[in-house]
Amino acid sequence: MENINSLWASLIVEELVRNGIRYFCISPGSRSAPLTVAAARHPKVKTSIIYDERGAAFHALGYARAAGTSAAVIATSGTAVANYLPAVVEASMDNIPLLILSADRPPELQQTGANQTILQPGIFGQFVRWHFEFPAPDEKIPPAVALSTVDQAVYRALRKPSGPVHLNFMFREPLAPERQPLPSNYLSGIADWQTRETPFTSYEQMCRSPQKDQLKKLAALLNQTKRGLVTVGRLDSPEQERAVKKLAHELNWPLFPDVLSGLRLGNSLFSRIPYYDQMLASEAFQAHLAVETLLHFGGQLTSKRFLQFTEKYPPENMIVVKEHPFRHDPACRVSWRIEAPIAALARDLIPMIHSGAEPKWVQTLVRQSGQVVQVVDDFFKKQINISEPGIARIISQKIREHDGLFLAGSMPVRDMDSFGLPDAKKPAVAANRGTSGIDGTISTAIGFAAGLRKPATLLIGDLAFLHDLNALSTLRFISQPVLIVLINNQGGGIFSFLPIAEFKDVFEEYFAAPHPFTFEKVSEMFGIDYYSPKNPEAFSQIYDKARGSQKHALIEIRTAREANVQRHQDLQKLIVRKLETLL
């Protein structure tokens, strides 16, 4: 029989598999060898070898975003574990499950100056939902301890609110699967477990549906509202999308959909206002929009203007529905916070709705929105030169239904939110908006494609691309083609929209942070097809060609930051001018 380390590791990986965890991101290391060997040898485990732990954790995060279940990451001891922190923070803030399996030195080597030994327990602080320090495997510890602990870990990662869980494993040598004698009856306590394929302990969280009296109270408030607004941030499932969409229809309230809601791209609804962020640039529109009741579902909106609108025109009732207890209320305006299953609450509300909404007010907003849609359409039809808003627009036109669309932080997610074609085919959209960082973006997008099991497009800026270049090495481990659309404006484009841009003595060097790099040689190094279109028509054709090739590709588009600001301002002025003629 293999040694106690190998046996425990095999039991742990098997129990993870029984709990549905079958995707493992492994970074090479010695102390983690027992876990790595167990995962590598398990017939139901899919492994990805990712050299750096920071990228591995973001890859696993992307996988979980798409698959709806956690991946596991395996790291050796020391700073390897510390590299997981950025992805752990993002997963925690956006309620994404993530299982961290870190190897550690045994107790006798802790705080002795032993090589590659740091204080790993509690290293992720408040950002994990649960953590457990496994003792070094020992014949005196029943194997049921390991199995039961794994079951608790998976449950804590997946239950609402989902998030990262850290299991820290102390291993003495031998670390390789060398054979050593073990007591013949060591596994007798889990004999029944060995004869079946289910977890040692099965967990189940019962659905907490809202009570009827609570629903009646909410329905009464909604029904008496003459001017109401539904806003929708990131949702977790098509079921939630359908239920919220139907509720908005029954209420006959205008709907502001974030790009991550599943209702912004490729989803039709009479009262949907797709370009609400651009329309809110009009002071006259804001005053006309002022609502009595705001009903929000899901994650935060990308739009900063909307937050400013609620601060200037606070609704009498601001109701927020989420599936977790955490406060998301930066303006401190929420009057009623509801923690409930979103789909169930929306479905249960629908039969109680007898909307008192002002039809003329809603029709006016929808008509204004239709006029703005025409302004935006006309603007892009006249564009000859390639632009950053135009790139987002073309991707939304060209992407295939159900393909993945991953949006980098900073300008890409904002441009798709602001300019994406409303009636395009519906992709699966994701972004790292838990903390809105740009680190780990390529890794997350590749993991997203792997979890989705479909081709994916990544829209990314040059600084985020530079931040995670080595993630391109992992493309060879996934069969789903990833098409990377890289906007290279040679610096941080978003800073040109901020007040700091007026301070010329420090802006260019310290905020725009210009660089001289282009990325054709990078694609050559990693064996990725490369394209560099110079105009919108060429980009459109190349996008179709790259998507049809079923191979990974990098499309680099050079833009100028100053021209990008001007393009945004030109379109915004046209929209505001149109609204002023309608109000």
Is 202 a domain residue?
A: no
Give the residue from 393, 452, 461 showing the smallest Cα distance to 428. 452
Question: Same domain for 407 and 550?
Answer: yes
Phi then psi for 293, rounded to 5 degrees?
-130, 130
What is the structure's pLDDT at 102? 98
What CATH number does the domain containing 256 carry?
3.40.50.1220
Helices (H), 225-280: 238-251, 276-279
Contact predicate 71/20, CB 8 Å: no
The pLDDT, as a whole number, for residue 1 is 59
Residue 508: burial class (beta carbons within 10 Å; 0-12, 13-18, 19+): middle
Contacts of 415 (CB under 8 A, 6+ apart): 388, 389, 391, 392, 459
Residue 114 has pLDDT above 70, yes or no: yes
Q: Is 178 part of any domain?
A: no
Helix (H), strand (E) at residue 367: helix 359-381
- Read off the pLDDT of residues 177-186 as tens digits, 9 standing for 90 and up: 999 999 999 9
Are 24 and 76 members of one domain? yes
Are residue 303 and residue 401 in the same domain, yes or no? no
Q: How many domains is the chain partitioned into structurally? A: 3
Please tell me the distance from the alpha carbon of residue 123 to that of residue 81, in angstroms, as a whole number.
Answer: 8
- Res. 251: pLDDT tops 70: yes
Last residue of a domain, one of 369, 404, 433: 369
442 with 518, same domain: the answer is: yes
Is residue 203 in some structural domain? no
User: In CATH, what number is assigned to the domain containing residue 68?
Assistant: 3.40.50.970
CB count in 10 Å sphere of residue 192: 8
Which single residue is written with the structure tokens 């039991």?
11
Q: Rounded distance, CA 193 to CA 408, Å?
A: 44
Residue 163 shares a structural domain with residue 247: no
Q: Are 290 and 318 in contact (CB under 8 A)?
A: no
**117-141 pLDDT, tens digit each:** 999 999 999 999 999 999 999 999 9
Q: What share of the chain is helix, strand, coil (3-state, %, to 5)?
A: 45, 15, 40
pLDDT at 207 over 70: no
Task: Give the pLDDT score at 493.
Answer: 85
Q: What is the pLDDT of residue 328?
A: 87
pTM of the model: 0.95
C-alpha distances (whole Å) from 278 to each of 33, 266, 424 are 53, 19, 19
Q: Are residues 426 and 320 in the same domain?
A: no
| Token pair listed for 150 | 């794994």
Check if the beta carbon of residue 416 is closer than 8 Å to that of residue 446. no
- CA–CA separation, 90 vs 262, rounded Å? 20
**Average pLDDT value for residue range 451-472:** 97
Say what the pLDDT of residue 331 is. 86
Residues 6+ apart with CB under 8 A from 363: none
Q: Are residues 98 and 190 in the same domain?
A: yes
Task: Examine residue 377 and state whether it is found in any structural domain, yes or no.
Answer: no
Tokens of 86: 């950025």
Q: What is the pLDDT of residues 312-346, one digit of tens each?
A: 999 999 999 999 999 988 888 999 999 999 999 99
> Please, which residues have CB within 8 angstroms of residue 307's CB and are 6 or more apart in sequence?
301, 330, 331
The pLDDT tens digits of the residues spanning 85-101 come to 999 999 999 999 999 99
Alpha helices in 94-161 (DSSP H): 143-158
Question: What is the C-alpha separation between 232 and 87, in angstroms, rounded?
Answer: 25
pLDDT for res 212: 86
Q: Is 201 within a domain?
A: no
Phi, psi of 153 (to 5 degrees): -60, -45
Do residues 401 and 293 share a domain?
no
Stretch (H or E) spanning 221: helix 212-224
Phi-psi region of 182 (alpha: psi -120 to 50; beta: other; left: phi over 0): beta
Has residue 341 been placed in a domain?
A: yes
In this predicted model, what pLDDT tens digit does every residue of 358-405 receive, in sequence order?
999 999 999 999 999 999 999 999 988 999 999 999 999 999 999 999
- Residue 258 sits in the same domain as residue 332: yes
Domain boundary among 318, 338, 369: 369
Tokens of 491: 């610096």
Q: Are 392 and 415 in contact (CB under 8 A)?
A: yes
Q: Show the tokens assigned to 270.
A: 């009479």
Q: Helix 388-398 crosses helix 359-381 at what angle (to 10 degrees)?
A: 110
Could you tell me if residue 431 is inside a domain? Answer: yes
Q: What value does the mean pLDDT of the chain take?
A: 95
pLDDT at position 488 over 80:
yes
Whether the pLDDT of residue 146 is over 70: the answer is yes
155 and 259 belong to one structural domain: no
16 and 161 belong to one structural domain: yes
Describe the strand order of the beta sheet including 317-322 as a list of residue ranges: 255-257, 228-232, 293-297, 317-322, 336-339
Single out the residue in 338, 369, 400 at which a domain terminates. 369
How many angstroms separate the CA atoms of 412 and 414, rounded? 5
Split at pLDDT 50, 70, 90, the class of 150 is very high
**What's residue 262's pLDDT?**
95
| Percent of the chain residues past pLDDT 70, beyond the cut | 99
In the structure encoding, which two tokens stand for residue 92, read together? 């925690």
- Give the span between the Cα atoms of 95 and 163, in whole angstroms: 5
Q: Is 204 domain-assigned? A: no
With 90 as the cut, is the pLDDT of residue 507 above it? no
83/54 same-domain check: yes
Q: What range does the domain containing 285 cover?
A: 212-369
- Residue range 55-81, pLDDT digits in tens: 999 999 999 999 999 999 999 999 999
CA distance 237 to 242: 9
DSSP 2: B
The CA distance from 50 to 2, in Å, is 27
